[in-house]
Amino acid sequence: MEKQCSLRNGPEPSEFRQKLKVIIILVCVVLSLLVIRLWYLQVIKGDELRQRSENNAIRFRKIQPLRGLVMDRHGRIMVDNRPSYDVLYMPTKGLNPEMLVQKISDIYKTRALEYSTDLPLPRTVKSYLPVRLEKNVGMEKVALVETNALDLPGVYIDVTPVRLYVDGEVFAPVIGYTGEVSKEELEKTEEGYSSGDVTGKYGIEKVLDPYIRGRRGNELVEVNAFGKVIKNLGRIDPTSGANVVLTIDADLQKAAWEAFEDKAGAAVAMDPRDGSILAMVSLPSFDPNLFNAGISREEWVKLQKNPLNPLSNRAISGQYPPGSTYKLIVAAAALEEGVITPETRISCNGSFELGNRSYRCWKKHGHGSVNLHQALVGSCDVYFYTVGKMLGVDRIARYAKRFGLGDVTGIELAHERKGLVPTRDWKLARMKEPWQPGETISISIGQGFNLATPLQLVQAYSAMANGGSRWRPRLVERIAWPDGTVVKQWLPEKTGELKFGPKTMDVLNRALWAVVNEPGGTGANARVPGADVCGKTGTSQVIGLPQNEKARHAMKIAAFHKDHALFVCYAPLKNPEIAVAVVAENAGGGGAVAAPIARKILAAYFESKKKEKTNSAAVRLTQAAASENAQPVGP
Amino acid sequence: MIFLKYDRRLFQNFDWTLLALVLAICAIGVVNIYSTGFSLDGNQSPLYIKQLQWIFLGLALMVITFLIDYRSISQAAYVIYGLSVASLIFVAVFGHTANGAQRWISFGFFLFQPSELMKVTMIIALARYFDDHKSHEPYLLRELFIPCLIVLIPFVLILKQPDLGTALVLVIVSASIVLFIGMNGKSLLIALTSALAVMPVAWHFLKDYQKDRLLTFLSPETDPLGTGYHIIQSMIAIGSGGFLGKGFLQGSQTQLKFLPEQQTDFVFSVFAEEWGFIGGLILLVMFISLIVWGLKIALHSKDLLGTILAFGVTALIAWQVMINMGMVLGLLPVVGIPLPFMSYGGSALVTLLGAIGLLMNVSVRRFVLQR
């Protein structure tokens, strides 16, 4: 050792040796302190701390946030929250859930209440996870459980918010419903769900779930051996979700719902000026409040097996042959392509011959010689067979697409269907067969392969109404925090233009007005005094009807083979503010069934507008009076 | 230069004890991290696999820092130091932000934390400086101006991130080195009083959460869901382990995620809950052995450079062990310092294993250096 010392030019190693000894002692002292502390915590206080961890005296409890409200355009609440009372059991030693369920149902029996739940009891009970015994119980049960708390150790009532759907059935197809997260949803880690969370399952509730959901809170509580909270140790409050303001007008929605009088079908009302959806109903519907408590299996099966499929929103996913409402598109195509002029006359004697087949006009003895205006007013089939044949299927398709048919509109809802605008290529690709000339004839009156959703129809007619702009149907106005700060706003969005000449627009607009307002028009039932309604009826065949008169009549009687009634309209003629599409399934003719429904919706719209006007006039009057009264104070 | 020259003696005198100790602690760490990733819903987090990968990467670095003569490394000391500072500056400008702190450089597949590297490169730079400026007399304050600068630059950069824990470790480790090689008594007194005088000003510059942590340490029950929650849950976890522990994967505090940061700063709580006092004691003894072994290497080094390097690395490990354990056991405030070789974290593990390579380097070359 000493030999190397001379090599060093620094402090002596002996000095280091001294220091290191001190350091080693210091380190040992510090680490011994740690060992003593470890001994203190684990051995001296071990039992106490073990108790605290095992009994699990301290527990995290999740606090479910309030989901955002859903409001209509006037701020009326359509979806609210209400408290739901669940019976929970925090496992304690020596008691299994089965025994407790028995005890609870015995207690219920004294008041003739039944213990009813589908919730499966867990096979193994973990001392830190509460077991939910019963969901969404009434106040009577809450009182029973609370008063018998001593006999039910570990059982407690938990309050969680659940959805309250006002007029649930009316809004269900649009707003949807909520439920507990599923296993699949839990696996999507990026969503950050944890078991027991509530999430949107359908409609707006689902599409806007990330905004509406809010953020879970946590609570740290100390509980006693009976599972009762004895001390609140801390709490992170949940954050409520953001509120959604829809473009829907709740009153108009209700009017539309009532107008159907329980017929199956759908109606959409749109503001043609910006694409805002004012009302969207689909019947039959379901009560979304059923899903709050976790719907019972029976009820779920009943909903799913219903042949009328109440769980689908027909306005966006019901695809119907547009029938004669399609004539607007064929007429526009014919005028723009120069195939006809407004004056071109075609003679209708009740049928149209192509090859060795004859195609009937709905009017048995024909319309006589008609021009375009008369053909639209009387909905003459032969006129459009002729024009359609001149145009050919692909030219019609081009115009149909300009109207937005054959593609999704982009509304803020899931499950929207595309409808179908057939072309030669489509048929070849799809059916491996060439296009038949006869199929063009069916297409020209909106039958055959043609399919459109009510939403597409109202979008198409809105474009006609507003002078040629196609707007994306807008259902959501904005999302805002409860304090009013806007999270996201949806602006009107133009998705296309018709690009028709002014003459075409003028001729067609006048014809659609005449359909409703001229004598002999098929849409007379939609007339609203003073509103200048323009529209087109349609009756779409559910199955191909035999051309033979007798067989045709017999088939029409069978309810499920009855035609779908359609009516698409807008009003008023000058500066239209509302467009409506109505489809009534298996209900009969468009003019007889769908037009009256549309009339009721339009009437409700103009009625409430008038009321608003008088109201605001009254307000203005009182304000004027008030300011007049205030006048003398001035100099 | 004795650069990477094969020498039989390197292997004849290889420090197996040191390697065995470090690997044993690393292995315990991996098993422990496996336990934290083991959660009730059966979603096995692959964290322990990643930790294993970091260990292998660290061992590779260890081979390099072992094979290159530490005197050659010292030649490049200021370059390495400069690069570390540059990466800290890079972090300050472009760094990746997580948990409200900007501490990482993102390499896509992993996040590199330069402040961890800085701990070791600072030691190398200090060793080089003191080796260049040998003195028989204890150092005076003015002679320590450059070492102070070597510490202060990264200190300020890391404090800014903000990472109070790491910044404090830099100061404590460098102070230990200076005290170890000798400082004039008067100078020491001046330094201490001025440090005390600066404290109230420093308090002013702390972030709110850092102040909270220091305050709640004094009375953890006042804010059990916030900062105090960590301490309470940690103490419950450790205490509930009892003498023998709850057994592997049986720690309810851990498995139920009551315990925060359980794979990083609070790994020891997990370990103590599952392995009890016996496990904790064994781990502590292993750490004591490692530290004493490191100090012994410092003592037996043939030159001052080796002594300072070995002492610095050992001090780094010792302080982190003591501070982390003190924090986890509720004796010190929560400052966010990982437990060496046990906490999950690639940057810390790789640089620490590199530092162990240096320690071996010094340990073995006392038999190689003849002059």
pLDDT of residue A134: 82
Judged against a pLDDT cut of 90, whether residue A123 lies above it is answered with no
pLDDT of residue A223: 67
Question: What's the rounded Cα separation, in Å, for the pair B253 and B251?
Answer: 5
Mean of pLDDT values over B241-270: 75
User: Percentage of chain A surpassing pLDDT 70?
Assistant: 85
- Would you state the structure tokens that stand for residue A280, as one six-digit string? 């969207």
State the nearest Cα–Cα gap between B88 and chain A, in angstroms. 31
- A 10 A CB-CB count for A442 gives 21
Residues facing A159 on adjacent strands: A85
Give tens-digit pLDDT for A460-499.
Answer: 999 999 999 999 999 999 999 988 889 999 999 999 999 9
**Which of B176, B223, B225 would you mutate first to test chain A, the one with the most A CBs within 10 A?**
B225
Q: Which residues of B touch A35 (CB under 8 A)?
A: 280-281, 284
Strands A243-246 and A70-71 come out as: parallel
Q: Which residues of A touch B136 (CB under 8 A)?
A: 10-11
Judged against a pLDDT cut of 70, whether residue B306 lies above it is answered with yes
Does the CB of B260 have a partner CB in chain A at under 8 Å?
no
pLDDT of residue A628: 53
Cα–chain center distance at A387: 39
Mean of pLDDT values over A243-251: 95
Q: If you ran DSSP here, which 8-state letter would residue A545 be given? A: P
Instruction: Kindly determine whether residue A27 and residue B276, on different chains, have CB atoms separated by under 8 Å.
Output: no
Nearest to A220 among B224, B236, B303 (CB): B224
pLDDT of residue A282: 95
Mean of pLDDT values over A625-629: 57
Cα–Cα nearest to A310, from A289, A278, A331, A287: A287
User: What dihedral angle (degrees, nearest 10) is formed by the CA atoms of A453, A457, A458, A463?
Assistant: 140
Judged against a pLDDT cut of 70, whether residue B305 lies above it is answered with yes
What letters, b where the CB count within 10 A reaches 16 and e where it falls short, cover A547-562?
eeeeeeeebeeeeeeb
Strands A243-246 and A346-348 come out as: unpaired
Judged against a pLDDT cut of 50, whether residue A632 lies above it is answered with no
Among chain A residues, the shortest Cα distance to B259 is held by A53
Instruction: Kindly determine whether residue B224 and residue A234, on different chains, have CB atoms separated by under 8 Å.
Output: yes
State the nearest Cα–Cα gap between B86 and chain A, in angstroms. 32
Nearest to A49 among B180, B239, B303 (CB): B239
Provide the CB-side half-sphere exposure for B279 (13 A, CA).
Answer: 26
Does the CB of A20 have a partner CB in chain B at under 8 Å?
yes
Give tens-digit pLDDT for A64-114.
Answer: 889 999 999 999 999 999 888 888 887 665 567 777 788 888 888 887 777
Give the residue, B1 or B70, on which the prediction is more confident: B70
State the nearest Cα–Cα gap between A191 and chain B, in angstroms. 16
* Pure H helices in A445-592: 454-465, 502-517, 549-557
Judged against a pLDDT cut of 60, whether residue B31 lies above it is answered with yes
Q: What is the DSSP string of B133-167?
A: T--SSPBPGGGGHHHHHHHHHHHHHHHTTT-HHHH
pLDDT of residue A296: 72
Q: Which CATH superfamily is domain A250-614 in?
A: DD-peptidase/beta-lactamase superfamily (3.40.710.10)
R_g of chain B, CA atoms, integer Å: 21
Nearest to A42 among B239, B321, B325 (CB): B239
The total number of residues shown for chain A amounts to 635
User: Percentage of chain B surpassing pLDDT 90?
Assistant: 42
CATH class assigned to A58-243:
alpha beta
Q: Which residues of A touch B324 (CB under 8 A)?
A: none
User: Percentage of chain B surpassing pLDDT 70?
Assistant: 82
Please state, rounded to an integer, the average pLDDT across all residues of chain A.
84
Nearest to A27 among B291, B304, B307 (CB): B291
Instruction: Kindly determine whether residue A9 and residue B229, on different chains, have CB atoms separated by under 8 Å.
Output: no
Give the residue, B259 or B20, on which the prediction is more confident: B20
Does the CB of B319 have a partner CB in chain A at under 8 Å?
no
Instruction: Kindly determine whether residue A50 and residue B242, on different chains, have CB atoms separated by under 8 Å.
Output: yes
Q: What is the DSSP string of B292-335?
A: HHHHHHHHH-SSHHHHHHHHHHHHHHHHHHHHHHHHHTTSS---
Does the CB of A431 have a partner CB in chain B at under 8 Å?
no
In this structure, of A288-297, A358-367, A408-417, the range with the lowest mean pLDDT score is: A288-297
How confident is residue B1, by pLDDT bands cut at 50, 70 and 90? very low
Nearest-5° angle of CA B17, CA B18, CA B21? Answer: 85
Does the CB of A49 have a partner CB in chain B at under 8 Å?
yes
Burial class (CB in 10 A: 0-12, 13-18, 19+), B102: middle
Instruction: Kindly determine whether residue B240 and residue A43, on different chains, have CB atoms separated by under 8 Å.
Output: no
Residues 6+ apart with CB under 8 A from A4: A13, B302
Judged against a pLDDT cut of 60, whether residue A290 lies above it is answered with yes
Among chain B residues, the shortest Cα distance to A21 is held by B295
In this structure, of A366-375, B1-10, B177-186, the range with the lowest mean pLDDT score is: B1-10
How confident is residue B295, by pLDDT bands cut at 50, 70 and 90? very high
Question: What's the rounded Cα separation, in Å, for the pair B1 and A597?
Answer: 98
Please state, rounded to an integer, the average pLDDT across all residues of chain B.
83
Mean of pLDDT values over A273-288: 94
Does the CB of A16 have a partner CB in chain B at under 8 Å?
yes
Nearest to A28 among B131, B288, B299 (CB): B288
Kindly list the distances between the CA atom of residue A554 and the CA atoms of A351, A447, B339, in Å, as whole numbers in the listed order: 21, 21, 87
Judged against a pLDDT cut of 70, whether residue A192 lies above it is answered with no
Nearest to A16 among B135, B307, B322 (CB): B307
Among chain B residues, the shortest Cα distance to A189 is held by B43
Question: What's the rounded Cα separation, in Å, for the pair A442 and A439?
Answer: 5
State the nearest Cα–Cα gap between A78 and chain B, in angstroms. 37
In this structure, of A134-148, A258-272, A582-596, B278-292, the range with the lowest mean pLDDT score is: A134-148
Q: Please confirm, yes or no, whether A324 is among the known catalytic residues.
A: yes
Among chain A residues, the shortest Cα distance to B236 is held by A49
Instruction: Kindly determine whether residue B241 and residue A56, on different chains, have CB atoms separated by under 8 Å.
Output: no
Which residue among the candidates A84, A276, A285, A324 is catalytic per the annotation? A324
Mean of pLDDT values over B318-325: 94
Q: Which residues of A touch B40 (CB under 8 A)?
A: 126
Give the residue, B1 or A493, on which the prediction is more confident: A493
Instruction: Kindly determine whether residue A43 and residue B277, on different chains, have CB atoms separated by under 8 Å.
Output: yes
Question: What's the rounded Cα separation, in Å, for the pair B117 and B317?
Answer: 13
Nearest to A53 among B131, B236, B299 (CB): B236
Domain ranges of chain B: 8-365
CB B67 within 8 A of CB B363: no
CB A380 within 8 A of CB A349: no
State the nearest Cα–Cα gap between A127 and chain B, in angstroms. 10
In this structure, of A269-278, B37-46, B157-166, the range with the lowest mean pLDDT score is: B37-46
Burial class (CB in 10 A: 0-12, 13-18, 19+), A65: buried
Judged against a pLDDT cut of 50, whether residue A545 lies above it is answered with no
**CATH topology match: A58-243 vs A250-614:** no
Instruction: Kindly determine whether residue B277 and residue A31, on different chains, have CB atoms separated by under 8 Å.
Output: no
pLDDT of residue A291: 82
Mean of pLDDT values over A272-276: 95
Question: What's the rounded Cα separation, in Å, for the pair B10 and B8?
Answer: 5
Among chain B residues, the shortest Cα distance to A54 is held by B252
Question: What's the rounded Cα separation, in Å, for the pair A565 and A563?
Answer: 6
First to last CA, chain B: 14
Cα–Cα nearest to A587, from A290, A137, A184, A267: A267
Question: What's the rounded Cα separation, in Å, for the pair A324 and A566?
Answer: 8
Does the CB of A194 have a partner CB in chain B at under 8 Å?
no
CB A369 within 8 A of CB A409: no
Question: What's the rounded Cα separation, in Å, for the pair B239 and A38?
Answer: 8
- Would you state the structure tokens that stand for residue A620, as one six-digit string? 């203005």
Mean of pLDDT values over A56-66: 72
pLDDT of residue A8: 46
pLDDT of residue A2: 38
CB A379 within 8 A of CB A522: yes
The total number of residues shown for chain B amounts to 371
Give tens-digit pLDDT for B90-147.
Answer: 888 877 766 556 777 777 667 788 999 999 999 999 999 999 988 777 888 788 889 9
Domain ranges of chain A: 2-44, 58-243, 250-614
Q: What is the DSSP string of A13-53?
A: HHHHHHHHHHHHHHHHHHHHHHHHHHHIIIIISHHHHHHHH
State the nearest Cα–Cα gap between A559 and chain B, in angstroms. 53
How confident is residue A30, by pLDDT bands cut at 50, 70 and 90? very high
- Greatest mean pLDDT among A126-140, A187-201, A301-315, A401-415 lies in A401-415
Judged against a pLDDT cut of 70, whether residue B45 lies above it is answered with no
- A 10 A CB-CB count for A122 gives 12
Does the CB of B31 have a partner CB in chain A at under 8 Å?
no
Task: Kindly report whether the peptide bond that precedes residue A272 is cis, defined as omega within 30 degrees of 0.
Answer: no
Does the CB of B237 have a partner CB in chain A at under 8 Å?
yes
Question: What's the rounded Cα separation, in Å, for the pair B355 and A379?
Answer: 91
Question: What's the rounded Cα separation, in Å, for the pair A461 and B198?
Answer: 77
Question: What's the rounded Cα separation, in Å, for the pair A429 and A448?
Answer: 17
Give tens-digit pLDDT for A377-407.
Answer: 999 999 999 999 999 999 999 999 999 999 9
Judged against a pLDDT cut of 70, whether residue B270 lies above it is answered with yes
CB B273 within 8 A of CB B243: no
pLDDT of residue A50: 79
- A 10 A CB-CB count for A429 gives 9
**Which of B240, B271, B368, B370 would you mutate first to test chain A, the one with the most A CBs within 10 A?**
B240
Instruction: Kindly determine whether residue A236 and residue B238, on different chains, have CB atoms separated by under 8 Å.
Output: no
Question: What number of C-beta contacts closer than 8 Å exist between A and B?
Answer: 137
Which B residues 272-311 touch A at CB under 8 Å? 272, 276-277, 280-281, 284, 287-288, 291-292, 295, 298-299, 302-304, 307
Mean of pLDDT values over A7-29: 77
Instruction: Kindly determine whether residue B182 and residue A15, on different chains, have CB atoms separated by under 8 Å.
Output: yes
